[in-house]
Structure 1
């Protein structure tokens, strides 16, 4: 129970916040808590006006603010992202140059002004040299930066930097379809918000009609550019700038924000956040909420069901969705039909027309708006569209948002939407939702929750003690607490939620200190938004999920505990926290139904016992991925789960079908494998039917019908059908096809070696079985084709599938058209590492399957003469035999540990001496651990299926 003083503080904050929102609904200036920025302030500082025949700077306080906010190193925007600093400094430097070229019109001494310019120029030169243009995803930067470079060049300040060509290409792509008439027309366009980007390219007199209450789409910089470059002065535009200075967050200091006002945005973000968290308003607060509801409803109707961030401004999907959510949670039932009609765009929803990249958060808000409608089942198609888009982005590892730079923010939005969707589904509203999609929802939600828990700091906070970001994370966990995953993730989820709230409650005085993570032309913060999220996080309601028994998600808690106990005994996971081990296993259980649904896509399961290994596949990948903090994106992890399953099945097929029934045709099968691997592959198994770029592994299967025997005994035609499917699957995978030809050839070669190694091993088994084999002790292999070292490094290591699987993974993680490993050193060490890893895995496998191999009369490492020499020295008798057997196992473990040392040495040198990138390093470590985990599992228990 909260202390009385804390409750009073919390209630006081809620009261004041809602009162200010209600007051803003009747204010002629609207609402605007967006923090000020140097970028727009610099443009305002460049406005001059002729009065009584004399031209003077109109807003000297803005220039003085600009001078005073320049950092010691010469830039503006200290601590912000690179693009923020670059844009702020470019605009600031441009304002300095304008004032320098108009002496006498500034209170700053000319010598001081020269110093400011020199420092700014030097700072910007250095910053541009290290700017990663390609990875920048900031709204509008590709049109703003080139214009500022051009305007500075006209003032005699030029810059060259490594990313300039990339920037120019982005600019040309963005403006390919632009022509001035777009702005001269009455067609709504977001370009109105950034008219400064078109200085020297448009006639500003022809855009006067775009003024809305004196502003160019509520942008001080765009409006300033209009005032500077239009031939006729506009008093309304001047009045807007004065209003932004006086009533914006600068409060008369001369500083302005990037947008003012932001009334609809502020109202809807705060109201939807508070109400979705379960706010119970007092009678006084209900009065404020009614005022807000009436205001939003009036403008929603006036704007015909679509809204912008300010009434009458150009509509966008984000503010429209938030308005729909707010009105519905306030009891004003409105429909999302116009939202769908205006903003649906193929496989997702767009924020504005012509946006370069779709917004993750906007699609989250749209999904939430659809779910909050009175009858969400009426919008099942649109719900599935948004849901697939969001789940696919999450699975690809690309959840970056264009309106907020904090990675926890989109997670919070998605967790809220997914939890609400699951609640609606359980209540019967969305019963026709795709079951496969529902499985994805559980997986995505599980990964979001686990990742968020992992990032929590010992203080209970996230992101170095930020209250706003801690609130995002706490709301994420609160959403998870209202889902079926709450019981599965157990006490850790609840304790993380408690600690997060405790941190917020202990730091209530810091709630108004918003983080500069919200994106406009440059990033900004908002005390109002920060306050709303913190309030919501500490009072968000939670409940106990009561399962309906439909069996959609079946994660047996006893099995999770049993597996966790088993894995914790393996060296690889011995130091893993219990909660993380269990949560990884929960995720593995969630992946399992999807994997099981694919088990007959390529290989038939004829004459085989239960495939016990199947449940281990998702477990090993999720546990190792957790061990390396999500090194591999879910999409790629899924692809490797499929490959791991196919490798087990290939092993089964070659043993149970080829080795069992076609031993007299092994030469013919070898020729078949050579042909299938060397000949051009036919039609790919990955049809891009709907143009989405998704391949068949992301659907329900590849073939409608599995291969079946025409008769009782497998023949060459049957073998060819199955092997062709397998080989074609691997070699026509999209990641393989887009790889360099040299990489494709290597994979083709390793795949062929893998299959042929099975056939060679079958011959070895046949020769071994022709001997007289002891049933109770290890029998020495009398006719090995080579030394044990040569055999285990070639045939036996290839038999593990590790080398070809590693090459397949290399295709998955590489950029299109590039190899994952470049140059002689990287490629040599990568192959050497993989070869030792495969050998080690085979030796661990053999260590764990000695008893099974003896029962099935298969050749094992310990059957080689090098291991059996001790047997000749030992006498007969049960005790002596047991001692000899243990000696054999000890020697096998010793050489396996030697191979481990070699593998890790190669990996260390690959990471530290070849310039390998960080992402590939993390994935390599993870892959090694996955392979290693199977070896350790085999040491502990034998998971392979046996032939019936």
Structure 2
């Protein structure tokens, strides 16, 4: 054991830790560090060792009584064992302990005091475990082999009449069946090693334990697992002295407590991570001399040579990519490079790097470590192909949502590794050693760093810590430290330095008296590595930032023009939606938005040729990403980048459809419009049929209209062009991956909604034409300040509420976009609003939101609509009528309830209503707030019948819609129709 790990009054320095590692002596010829490991004890493994009996002089005796004594002392008052971070920890620890108690009770005399005491403990434990199982979310568990370990324990306990029934049981057994469906006993009987050996105890009742003895070694037992080795000794009919010797060594490593770890020994894992973390240019430590480097390197070199260039967590166990990568990194830190070729040959797949050859689910952290190992190769030998493969895999996971890794439960650990990888990649790119541009990585990496860094900063607590955890705080400091090398503004760099300082102050103050004990690393149960705990805390306290002379092209991706940033910050801060909102760094938000805007610009002509649309400049290209990114950060980044990007792209297309309908389609003669809408309706029906029949395909710009219609279409090139453009848009939506994986009723609904959106635009065009005719005849249109110049207009004899909640709301794109968004956040084959109440409340919320959006839009675009002759809410007659108020003065319409618009808690237009600009506009704002109240009520009802995560993501959509409305009030961002000569109409 390294002496600086335990018993120190403060965190050891990197020099102290490295000196103790150097001082470790190999024990036994050819078996380096066979007795090293610093994992915390595990109740689970302790319980298995407590059940081992050995015949001596014809009498059975328990081999490790200290383990059973530890179990008795460790049972908590409520009845469970081992309340670490994860539910599955408590479940596995407690089930194994119950099995040990039940086994021991059967060997005692019935009705004896000892038996009665054990029975009381068993009953208390069973009741407590039942309560935990009742709330267990099986699908959220990531621990190694839980899907075979828990069912095996449940079966074994049922033999002792200890049974459990819980909601997640069927899900658990489905996972168990999937895991074991290809299992054959011959797998563990062969001489080939497999990860199943590490969980051998899960195979009780499925294999003959007499046939696995050849896997047991004196140094490592069965795959370095105390519990697997214990099960082998219990169920084998022949006593194996090697297994007993191994377990005795494990017991000795605990100092006689009997609390054994879940894996032992773990020398290559712990030392590989330690040296590759501490011996880098970013951690301040003394230079090692040649003898020390040789001594440390020899341990890894011997292990790699023995297993043909690959290693596992300790010499002799099955090799894996993670430990091999870290061993190679450690060697490079010691100036002893070895190629990563064997690692890649053994573990690469088509799209990622596996941890083990037969791995079921990929690991984020393992791919980070492999990428770090690849980046450590000599410049001329860098493996561009596999660097790109690992990087693409990591970016895809990062952009798809929160990172959950199966080897460490802390999200911050994965963030730390990704930011480290990203910064080192950018350094290599900066020096011209790797290509990040050709496949778009150079644009994606900065955005990912912005998101992860913002998440990290936002989670720092006032005491300087992250989660009141020493180790997570250390991960976070290292994350921020690596990011500090990037070319941010001086102000942001100052903020990052301050964050590091606060975190370091917390580490120094709490290291010897922590707020809690971390169990972050994942094995069968969660554990703590005392060595790695010290290593990460020490690295964080002695972190030093490396200055990099960045090229202008890279620096441009991390900075903002100061003038632009100040204007945007002012705009955001002036919006009522953001009153009281706190951002970890508005600069990070705006940099991310700018990066997304650059990507969005490349999609500008993806469906519509913007240059052919007679409109003024599309300044919304800048606002769309800013609005989505800002609202996402306001809500704690509940949306993944992938979801947000799809909505940003859809928002662009919605603006372009609006432009296309206002300009191109509006110029089509009436007969052509009728034909166009018939064709689009047929397209909608065809899309609905295609959803039902997978053979009913649609091609880009095609329709299932009959041959005569197709011939007629060729005669009118204007209609033909419009149909092709709009049908491409419809197909982009109806054939989107999020739709095609949705339930059929949702696909049918979208086909209708997307048509309603375009039909509403067409109806608006017709109303505009009627308005223009009446205006030409001197018969009324609203003016920019909301007043009407002459007689009233009531389009198509509709009441205002019918119009604004119907086609005018469909026209906003909110209804179909709401449905599209729901598909994005739903699981495949499901819909997030399941059940009659959820569906009804969701649709009610959507309609109120769309109506509110229409009203805000009309409030902000009154001037443009008056100039262009567009129908606006203010054209309806009611907005010129006086309104009754208690004081007898009509017109402002600001009071919509007893508190008034200005007093609403979340009212988007607080501070805008009742401005005195015009009574008509004040009335419009009051109605918008009425719709807000309806939306808020629907949201409250909806939150009671859908999962919390759905509501958290929906809130971003609501805020985006709200923000567009608020921005419109402050600044009309829509483009305007132009004449052929470019003059505004």
- 8 Å contact kept, 1:277–1:537: no
Report the Cα offset of residue 671 of structure 1. Answer: 1.0
From 516, 522, 545, the equivalent of 1:519 is 522
Q: Higher mean Cα deviation, 548-557 or 937-946?
A: 548-557
Q: CA deviation at 1:68?
A: 1.3
Displacement of 1:781 in angstroms is: 5.0
Q: Helix, strand or coil for the counterpart of 1:386?
A: helix
2: CA distance, partners of 1:239 / 1:108: 34
Alignment of 1:230 with 2:208, yes or no, is no
User: What is the alpha-carbon distance in structure 2 between the residues aligned to residue 530 and residue 884 of structure 1?
Assistant: 63
- The 1:21–1:711 alpha-carbon spacing in structure 2 relative to 1, beyond 3 Å, is farther
2:414 aligned with 1:404: no
Equivalent residues in 2 for 1:235-314 (5 A)?
235-247=241-253, 250-276=254-280, 278-282=282-286, 288-314=292-318
The aligned residue for residue 493 of structure 1 is 496
State how far apart, in whole Å, the 1-side matches of 2:441 and 2:927 are: 46
Corresponding residue for 1:879?
A: none
The residue aligned with 1:24 is 24
Deviation at 1:283, TM superposition (A): 5.4
Residue 197 of structure 2 is aligned with which of 178, 192, 197?
192
- Aligned-partner SS, 2:55: strand
In the TM superposition, 1:645-664 aligns within 5 A as: 645-664=652-671
Larger mean CA deviation between 322-331 and 646-655 belongs to 322-331
Contact in 2 for aligned 1:423/1:483 (Cα 8 Å): no
Are the equivalent residues in 1 in contact too, given 2:91–2:133 (CA < 8 A)?
Answer: yes
Deviation at 1:539, TM superposition (A): 1.5
Q: CA deviation at 1:375?
A: 2.8
Report deviation, 1:430.
0.9
Asked if 1:761 is matched to 2:761, the reply is no
Q: Does 1:862 align with 2:874?
A: yes
Could you tell which deviates more after superposition, 490-499 or 259-268?
490-499
CA–CA separation in structure 1 for the residues paired with 2:478 and 2:325: 20
Q: Is the 8 A contact 1:211 1:217 kept in 2?
A: yes
| Structure 1: distance between partners of 2:432 and 2:354 | 29
* 1:578 shift after superposition: 6.3
Q: What's 2:587 paired with?
A: 582
Shift of 1:747: 1.8
Contact 2:42-2:261 within 8 A present in 1 as well:
yes
Tell me what 2:625 maps to: 618
3-state SS, counterpart of residue 316 of structure 2 = coil
Task: Report the CA distance between 1:555 and its aligned residue.
Answer: 4.2
In structure 2, the CA distance between the partners of 1:805 and 1:62, relative to structure 1 (3 Å rule), is same
CA contact (8 A) 2:407 2:521 kept: yes
Q: Which residue of 2 aligns with 1:693?
A: none
* Structure 1 length-normalised TM: 0.91
Q: Residue deviations 1:740-788, cap 9 Å, x none?
A: 2222222222111110011000010001111236888744553521122
- Stretch of structure 1 that moved more, 722-731 or 208-217: 208-217
Residue 750 of structure 1 corresponds to: 753
1:437 aligns with 2:432: no
CA–CA separation in structure 2 for the residues paired with 1:569 and 1:596 = 27
Quote the offset at 1:47 in angstroms: 1.0
Contact 2:320 2:356 in 1 (8 A): yes
CA shift, 1:108, in A, is 8.8
User: Is the CA contact 1:75–1:123 (under 8 Å) kept in the aligned structure 2?
Assistant: yes
Deviation at 1:190, TM superposition (A): 0.8
Equivalent positions of 1:393-542 (< 5 A) are: 393-431=397-435, 433-463=437-467, 465-485=468-488, 489-510=492-513, 515-542=518-545
Partner of 1:831: 843
**Correspondence 1:474-873 to 2 at 5 A:** 474-485=477-488, 489-510=492-513, 515-550=518-553, 553=557, 555-558=559-562, 559-577=564-582, 580-605=585-610, 606=612, 607-680=614-687, 715-772=718-775, 778-779=788-789, 781-782=792-793, 784-785=795-796, 786-869=798-881
Q: How far apart, CA to CA, are the structure 1 residues paired with 2:514 and 2:18?
A: 16
**Contact 2:11–2:534, Cα closer than 8 Å, also in 1:** no
TM-fit CA distance, 1:10? 7.5
Paired position in structure 2 for 1:707: none
* 1:169 and 2:174 correspond: yes
Q: Identify the residue that residue 136 of structure 2 maps to in structure 1.
A: 131
Stretch moving more, 929-938 or 783-792: 783-792
Q: Aligned-pair RMSD on alpha carbons?
A: 2.8
Give, in whole Å, the separation in 2 of the partners of 1:196 and 1:810: 44
Query: Partner of 2:950 in structure 1?
Result: 920
1:221 equivalent to 2:251? Answer no
Q: Is the 8 A contact 1:486 1:493 kept in 2?
A: no
Q: Distance in 2 between matches of 1:474 and 1:843?
A: 47
For each residue in 1:143-192, what CA deviation from the matched residue of structure 2 results, as whole angstroms up to 9, or x when unmatched? Answer: 11111112112233222322222222111111111111111111220111
Identify unmatched segments of 5+ residues in structure 1: 1-7, 688-695, 697-709, 875-882
Work out which of the residue numbers 359, 364, 371 in structure 1 matches 2:368. Answer: 364
**Does the alignment pair 1:59 with 2:89?**
no
Instruction: Give the length in aligned residue pairs.
Output: 905
Match of residue 878 from structure 1 = none
* Distance of 1:267 and 1:661 partners within structure 2: 74
Distance 1:711 1:924 in 2: 44
Which stretch of the first structure deviates more once superposed, 19-28 or 34-43?
Answer: 19-28
Return the alpha-carbon distance in structure 2 between the equivalents of residues 376 and 814 of structure 1. 46
Q: How far has the Cα of 1:927 moved from its partner?
A: 1.1
Q: Distance in 2 between matches of 1:288 and 1:174?
A: 45
CA distance in 2, matches of 1:319, 1:25: 21
In the TM superposition, 1:924-939 aligns within 5 A as: 924-939=954-969
Q: TM-score, normalised by structure 2?
A: 0.88
- Aligned residue number for residue 187 of structure 2: 182
| Cα displacement (A) at 1:376 | 7.0
Q: Distance in 2 between matches of 1:13 and 1:888?
A: 71
Q: Distance in 2 between matches of 1:917 and 1:347?
A: 32
Contact persistence 1:436–1:594 (CA under 8 A): no
Deviation at 1:287, TM superposition (A): 5.3
Task: Specify the alignment match of 2:88 in structure 1.
Answer: 83
CA distance in 2, matches of 1:840, 1:292: 68
Q: Secondary structure at the match of 1:417?
A: helix
Show CA shifts across 1:393-429 (max 9, x none): 1111141011111111111111111111111111111
Residue 493 of structure 1 and its aligned partner are, at CA, apart by 2.5
**Aligned-pair distance for 1:66?**
1.3
The answer on whether the counterparts of 2:108 and 2:114 sit within 8 Å (CA) in structure 1 is no
Instruction: Report the CA distance between 1:124 and its aligned residue.
Output: 2.3
Kindly indicate whether the alpha-carbon contact (under 8 Å) linking 2:46 and 2:259 is maintained by their aligned counterparts in 1.
yes
Name 2:706's counterpart in structure 1: none
Instruction: Give unpaired runs (5+ residues) of structure 2.
Output: 1-7, 29-33, 695-699, 701-712, 884-888, 891-914, 979-985
The answer to which of 657-666 and 791-800 deviates more is 657-666
Q: For residues 870 and 448 of structure 1, what CA distance do their matches in structure 2 show? A: 54
Distance (whole Å) between structure 2 residues aligned to residue 712 and residue 742 of structure 1: 36
Query: Quick one: distance in 1 between partners of 2:11 and 2:107?
Result: 54
Return closer, same or farther for 1:554/1:418 CA change in 2, 3 Å cut-off.
closer
Q: What SS class does the counterpart of residue 56 from structure 1 fall into?
A: strand
Separation in structure 2 between the aligned mates of residue 286 and residue 927 of structure 1, nearest angstrom: 60
**Secondary structure class of the residue paired with 1:851:** helix
Deviations 1:554-577 (A, max 9, x none): 742321222111111111123334
The answer on 1:944 being equivalent to 2:970 is no
Taking the aligned partners of 1:70 and 1:919, their CA distance within structure 2 comes to 35
